[in-house]
Amino acid sequence: MKQRKGFTMIELLMVIGIIGLLAVFLVPNLLGGRDRAKETAVKGVLHTVQLAVEAYEMENLVYPLEKNIPLESLANNYLIPGGYLASVPKNPFTGKAYTDGDKAGKIIYSYDDAKGQYNIKAYGRSGLRSIQEVTNL
């Protein structure tokens, strides 16, 4: 009998099955990594905004007196005119400058006059889950 070189059908099916299982477990982790990287970039923007708000307070002796104001309005009304920010930062999820209507990666500033405390929250892709929160106290 003549011997043939190559793989049997069972061996090929086993390899395809193993590759399929690896794909099922690895693909969701790889896709989640992109969102984690963008969330880290949102945290960087949040830190920049916090520094700008602190600089605003040092010069004006008061924090911006707004409640639940999105980043675009905060930047255009307070931080850009005073030179604390050069422009509205880019949203890592959209790749464009932040707008008040952004859900993914949104950043919200709020000042509590009774406590003399501000709060800045950054959100993830869904716009529902807070990923980081900073305050002056």
Spell out the domain ranges in the chain.
14-135
Mean pLDDT computed over 83-104: 95
Q: Which residues contact 105 (CB under 8 A, 6 or more apart)?
A: 38, 39, 42, 91, 92, 93, 94, 98, 122, 123, 124, 125, 127
Tens-digit pLDDT profile for residues 13-66? 999 999 999 988 888 887 788 889 999 999 999 999 999 999 999 999 999 999
Sign of CA dihedral 88, 94, 96, 101: negative
Q: Check: CB of residue 134 under 8 Å from CB of residue 63.
A: no
| pTM above threshold 0.75 | yes
Phi, psi at 72, each rounded to 5°: -60, -50
Q: State whether residue 9 is helix, strand or coil.
A: helix
E strands, 12-116, in order:
69-70, 107-112
